Amino acid sequence: MTDPVPLPPPVLTDGELLLRPWHHASMDTIGRWMNWCTPGYSNADALLWMRDVERGWASGEGECALAVTVGGGQPLGCVGLNQFRTEYRTANVGYWVGQPHQGQGLAARAVRLLAPYAFERFGLRRLEIVVAEHNLPSRRTAEKAGARFEGIARKRLVVHGESVHAAMYALVAEDLRQAVAAP
């Protein structure tokens, strides 16, 4: 992986979907649907997370997340990179979409928007998507984004305190080009 030049988070769009940095006005939606977002998750926690994300974009380490919006409005979800492994030129890509907006293909589109930028900006060769084995909607999202299923990793994730098997997917630049070319 190349040493990234400190840059602010990108703004990426496909003409309708817009991925943008998180900001104070979007604090109410940060992580509302995530495992780690408990009733005790405060606005101060959200502000710390946004600062960590901003540092992640500048350094190419930690977490690099963007709000998923339509036309730049309120966040409908999140897409991001984490678990950078510089020696292998890989990172993990994760996503979530709020309940009212699920099933519309937003997360798959967000991954397809972020992936080319991630490959170029961070010199990555592979993006991995790790999904709880029985989370079928998230597995379909990985496939719609162009990622290929590689197998089941036993006891790979912890969900609500329980170790669960995970479906492992990977996306490389060639896969992304094929997904874009497909009807």
More confident residue, 52 or 24: 52
pTM for the model: 0.85
- pLDDT tens sequence across 91-141: 999 999 988 898 999 999 999 999 999 999 999 999 999 999 999 999 999
Element (H, E) at 29: none
Torsion sign over Cα 77, 145, 139, 164 = negative
Query: For 12-181, which CATH class?
Result: alpha beta
- Residues 151-180, mean pLDDT to the nearest whole number: 89
More confident residue, 5 or 85: 85
Element (H, E) at 91: strand 90-97
- Any idea where the domains of the chain sit in the sequence? 12-181
